């Protein structure tokens, strides 16, 4: 009984955390609870490079080779009414569509994207997973000025690395991505080594809030899914020690919660009677990867907040992708939402050929396994169409609506017709894919790190949850952004980061401007293919060691891509020594 109570409690606290800090509200909190001087310096430190030089991040621009092929695109941000599952919403779109247009280029191309803002709010564009120059990263107040209404901005970078990526606004991302400012990027290899698939499809998964009560606004506060809880006035937090670093009180300091009625949701400081049930941090895992009750609970953190799920533009689960028997198919799956989705293929075995745009060495066919796709992650899978019948991409998510709508059928369009979607398969109980034991050998031409080598810099990243002066915050090393000290590196250094998730929530941690190699999971070395990611999903109680080479000077965000968590504090800057910020830090936004 206690185990079930704790699962419900963790889910409840997750919803409260979302209500406490999303979008503009949380960032405004960060700005107003610090003096102007502190706000301008807290995320960064004054430091010069080893040679004593300083350079503004604005000077870190593309240096394309002579004669590089140029691919030019225009993205116009504009409002448009769109229909989702029979519901009409006023979306934010690029070029009038959601997702925005797929940008497909060839490795080595010079990419020039003109972004025009016809919205009533500022925007930027971040190139998720692409190692762009420091000035092109799209973080307002850190790498550029916001693109204000009526303004335009040109992004310019060389597509050095083949793979599957995506782009999205980086201003008030909870709202702007939530309402449609995102799209896919495919960088095709310059030299195709393995045979290209006969069919190549890019599918962006997204979740939407279309009702007033679950609107994707700046607070994102919605209490659906908590009907079994008594959530009263939530008045005082008796017994809490508010003296934690940075003014945050951590959840493992709360002796318990007696939550009754739904009042007081707008003021987390009015919570009452937290003294009944223990709310300790999860134990760190040491026995290797296995799915826990807390993982399932964390999957439901935003249950009830979203009421429509889409695969590209389709919300009815009726996406049909043409493929004939014997053809090879590549599906590029992009999680463009905030939730973790459990995806799999039925009807034929499949291979995971890349994660986050980076190839897997010697992938082997698998079936009856769920791919736990964290927010911001990409999975490329390939399979061969069977002689008879279609193949289905399906979801094993715990929510019925997600399983119904996050689907696609791959097969002969003429044979399949355009009728209702196939029967919903039951895949919820299939095991989760473990990327740390998949594939084998090495990736040709890719330099890897080893556990025993010496690293120039090491950092710890403890992921937690606490209570700040204005409500729930998500923390790194006990502090919420912008009070998180930066990770300062020098160009050329090797860097190792040890990550521990001491919260009951899932944190997909995304590093801008770099890929990192995953060295360990829960203290155990990776045994399969070398794994390089830019977004690492860290489950409750998990630990990881990751490593990267500091080979792309700039000021790079490293943050949770559950954007509710990021907007409520789970961010840090990887700061190259000597790189300065010429912009107004008050414009910083997630």
pLDDT in tens, 313-325: 999 999 999 999 9
> Are 46 and 112 in a shared domain?
no
∠ at Cα 51 (49, 53), nearest 5°?
60
On whether both 331 and 281 belong to a single domain, the answer is: no
pLDDT band, very low/low/confident/very high, at 424 (cuts 50, 70, 90): confident
Query: Reduced to 3 states, what is the DSSP secondary structure of residue 72?
Result: strand
**Among 20-34, 183-197, 320-334, where is mean pLDDT lowest?**
20-34
Query: From CA 311, how far away is CA 85, in angstroms rounded?
Result: 12
In a domain, 244, yes or no: yes
590 pLDDT tier (thresholds 50, 70, 90): confident
Looking at residue 204, its pLDDT comes to: 98
DSSP 8-state class, residue 35: -
User: Does residue 408 sit in the same domain as residue 285?
Assistant: no
Same domain, 456 and 513: yes
Task: Give the other-Cβ count within 10 Å of 241's Cβ.
Answer: 9
Residue 219 resides in a domain: no
Same domain, 521 and 589: yes
Q: For the residues of 39-77, what is the DSSP string, one character each?
A: HHHTT------TTS--EEGGG----PPTTPPEEEEEEEE
Residue 209 lies in a domain: no
Ranking 145-154, 218-227, 248-257, 499-508 by mean pLDDT, the lowest is: 218-227
Looking at residue 222, what is its pLDDT? 30
Strands 199-208 and 328-335: parallel
The encoded tokens of residue 208 equal 């939407």
pLDDT greater at residue 251 or residue 352: 352
Q: Evaluate whether 546 touches 499 at the Cβ level (below 8 Å).
A: yes
**Is position 5 within any domain?**
yes
- Residue 157 host element (H or E): strand 152-158
pLDDT tens-digit series, residues 454-503? 999 999 999 999 988 878 899 999 999 999 999 999 999 999 999 999 99
Task: Give the pLDDT score at 301.
Answer: 85
Which pLDDT score, from 0 to 100, does residue 24 have?
A: 35
Report the percent of the chain where pLDDT is more than 90. Answer: 71
Domain count, the chain: 3
Q: Which token pair is 220?
A: 């994102």
Q: What sign has the CA pseudo-torsion 287, 288, 292, 297? A: positive
Note whether residue 109 is domain-resident: yes
Q: Is pLDDT above 90 for 179?
A: yes
Residue 420 parent element (H or E): none
Q: Three-state SS for 252?
A: helix
Residue (of 430, 500, 477, 505) closest to 286 by Cα position: 500
- The pLDDT of 36-61, averaged and rounded, is 80
60 vs 22, more confident: 60
What mean pLDDT do residues 42-59 have?
Answer: 92
CATH number, domain of 247, equals 2.60.40.420
Cis peptide before 372 (omega within 30 of 0): no
Residue 219 has pLDDT above 90, yes or no: no
Q: What is the per-residue pLDDT for 416? A: 57
Which range is least confidently modeled, 41-55, 112-126, 189-203?
Answer: 41-55
Q: State the chain's mean pLDDT as an integer.
A: 84
Task: Supply φ then ψ for residue 156, to 5 degrees.
Answer: -145, 120
Same domain (yes/no): 75, 20: no
Q: Does 463 share its domain with 411?
A: no
- Under a CB-based contact definition with an 8 Å cutoff, are residues 51 and 575 in contact? no
The pLDDT, as a whole number, for residue 22 is 39
Tell me how far apart the alpha carbons of residues 105 and 250 are, in angstroms, rounded to a whole number. Answer: 46
**Contact between 40 and 250 (Cβ < 8 Å):** no
Instruction: Pick the last residue of a domain from 403, 433, 463.
Output: 433
pLDDT of residue 110: 98
What's the confidence (pLDDT) of residue 212? 56
Q: Residue 226: pLDDT band by 50, 70, 90 thresholds? A: very low
Q: What is the pLDDT of residue 320?
A: 97
The rounded distance, in Å, linking the Cα atoms of 560 and 298 is: 15
231 shares its domain with 322: no
Same domain, 173 and 270: no
Q: Is the separation of the CB atoms in 76 and 116 below 8 Å?
A: yes
Q: Per mean pLDDT, which range of 36-45, 84-93, 261-270, 389-398 is the poorest?
A: 261-270
- Taking every pair of Cα atoms in the chain, the longest distance, rounded to a whole number of angstroms, is 69
- For residues 182 and 206, the answer to whether their CB atoms sit within 8 Å is yes
3-state helix, strand, coil in the chain (%, to 5): 15, 35, 50
What are 208's strand-pairing partners?
308
**Domain boundary residue, one of 192, 215, 242:** 192
- Give yes or no for residue 217 having a pLDDT over 90: no
> Hey, which of 3-17, 292-306, 404-418 has the most confident mean pLDDT?
292-306
- Asked, for residue 566, whether it belongs to a domain, the answer is yes
Q: How confident is the model at residue 251 (pLDDT cuts 50, 70, 90)?
A: very low
Closest CA to 248 of 564, 46, 470, 455: 470
- Tell me the two tokens of residue 284: 């760190």
83 Cβ neighbours under 8 A, 6+ residues apart = none
Give the containing element (helix H, strand E) for 376.
Answer: none
**pLDDT tens digits for range 377-406:** 999 999 999 999 999 999 999 999 999 999
Res 250: pLDDT: 47
With a cut of 70, say whether residue 105 has pLDDT above it: yes
Per-residue 3-state assignment (H helix, E strand, C coil) for 346-373: ECCCEEEEEECCEECCCCCCECCCEEEE
Q: What angle do CA 426, 428, 431 make, to 5 degrees?
A: 120
State residue 414's pLDDT score: 67
Position 152 pLDDT exceeds 90 = yes
- pLDDT tens per residue, range 286-335: 877 889 999 999 998 887 899 999 999 999 999 999 999 999 999 999 99
- 438: which residues sit within 8 A by CB, 6+ positions away? 352, 360, 363, 364, 366, 528, 529
Q: Considering just the CA atoms, what is the radius of gyration of the chain in Å?
A: 23
Whether 106 and 163 map to the same domain: the answer is: yes
Residue 188 belongs to a domain: yes
Q: What is the pLDDT of residue 85?
A: 82
Per-residue pLDDT averaged across 516-545, rounded? 97
Q: Please indicate, yes or no, whether residues 416 and 501 belong to a single structural domain of this protein.
A: no
Give the pLDDT mean for 213-221: 39
Which tokens sit at 58?
Answer: 């604005």
Mean pLDDT value of segment 225-243:
30
DSSP string of 166-193?
Answer: EEE--SSHHHHHHTT-EEEEEEE-SS--
Q: What is the domain range of residue 108?
A: 70-192
Q: Are 333 and 205 in contact (CB under 8 A)?
A: yes
Burial 262-284 (b: 16+ CB within 10 A, else e): eebbeebebbbbbeebebebbee
Find the mean pLDDT for residues 220-245. 31
Round to whole Å and give the CA distance between 254 and 464: 13
Residue 202 in any domain: the answer is no
Q: Verify that 107 and 35 share a domain, yes or no.
A: no
**Token couple for 29:** 């909190």
């Amino acid at each position: 009984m206690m185990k079930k109570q704790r699962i419900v409690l963790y889910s409840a606290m997750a919803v409260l955390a979302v209500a406490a800090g999303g979008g503009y509200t949380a960032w405004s909190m960060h700005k107003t609870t610090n003096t102007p001087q502190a706000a301008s310096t807290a995320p960064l430190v004054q430091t010069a490079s080893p040679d004593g030089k300083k350079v503004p991040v604005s000077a870190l621009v593309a240096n394309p080779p002579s004669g590089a092929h140029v691919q030019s695109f225009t993205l116009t941000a504009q409002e448009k009414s769109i229909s989702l599952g029979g519901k009409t919403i006023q979306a934010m779109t690029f070029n009038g569509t959601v997702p925005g247009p797929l940008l497909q280029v060839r490795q080595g191309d010079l990419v020039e994207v003109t972004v025009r803002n016809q919205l009533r709010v500022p925007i930027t564009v971040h190139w998720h997973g692409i190692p762009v120059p420091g000035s092109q990263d799209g973080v307002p107040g850190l790498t550029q000025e916001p693109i204000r209404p009526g303004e335009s901005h040109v992004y310019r970078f060389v597509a050095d690395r083949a793979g599957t990526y995506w782009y999205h606004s980086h201003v008030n991302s909870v709202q702007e991505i939530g309402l449609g400012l995102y799209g896919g990027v495919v960088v095709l290899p310059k030299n195709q080594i393995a045979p290209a698939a006969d069919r190549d499809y890019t599918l962006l998964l997204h979740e939407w809030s279309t009702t007033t009560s679950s609107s994707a606004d700046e607070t994102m506060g919605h209490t659906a899914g908590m009907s079994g809880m008594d959530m009263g006035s939530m008045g005082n937090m008796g017994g809490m020690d508010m003296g934690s670093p940075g003014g945050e009180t951590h959840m493992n300091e709360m002796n318990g919660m007696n939550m009754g009625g739904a009042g007081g949701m707008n003021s987390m400081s009015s919570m009452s009677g937290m003294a009944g049930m223990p709310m300790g941090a999860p134990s760190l895992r040491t026995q290797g990867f296995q799915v826990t009750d807390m993982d399932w609970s964390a999957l439901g953190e935003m249950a009830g907040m979203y009421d429509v799920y889409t695969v590209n533009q389709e919300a009815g689960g009726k996406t049909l992708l043409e493929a004939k028997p014997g053809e090879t198919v590549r599906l590029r799956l992009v999680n463009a939402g905030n939730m973790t989705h459990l995806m799999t293929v039925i009807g034929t075995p499949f291979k995971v050929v890349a994660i986050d745009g980076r190839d897997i060495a010697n992938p082997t066919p698998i079936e009856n396994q769920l791919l736990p796709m964290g927010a911001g992650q990409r999975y490329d899978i390939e399979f061969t169409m069977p002689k008879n019948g279609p193949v289905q991409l399906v979801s094993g998510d715990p929510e019925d609506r997600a399983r119904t709508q996050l689907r696609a059928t791959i097969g002969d369009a003429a044979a399949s017709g355009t009728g209702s979607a196939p029967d919903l398969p039951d895949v919820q109980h299939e095991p989760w894919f473990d990327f740390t034991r998949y594939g084998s050998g090495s990736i040709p031409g890719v330099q890897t790190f080893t556990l025993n080598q010496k690293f120039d810099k090491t950092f710890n990243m403890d992921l937690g949850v606490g209570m700040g002066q204005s409500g729930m915050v998500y923390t790194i090393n006990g502090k919420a952004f912008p009070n998180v000290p930066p990770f300062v590196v020098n160009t050329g250094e090797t860097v190792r980061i040890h990550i521990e998730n001491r919260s009951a929530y899932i944190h997909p941690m995304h590093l801008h401007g770099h890929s990192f190699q995953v060295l360990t999971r829960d203290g155990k070395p990776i045994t399969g293919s070398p794994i390089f990611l830019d977004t690492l999903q860290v489950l409750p109680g998990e630990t990881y060691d990751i490593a990267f080479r500091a080979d792309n000077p700039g000021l790079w965000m490293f943050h949770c891509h559950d954007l509710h968590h990021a907007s409520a504090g789970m961010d840090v800057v990887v700061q190259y020594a000597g790189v300065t910020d010429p912009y107004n830090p008050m414009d910083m936004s997630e």
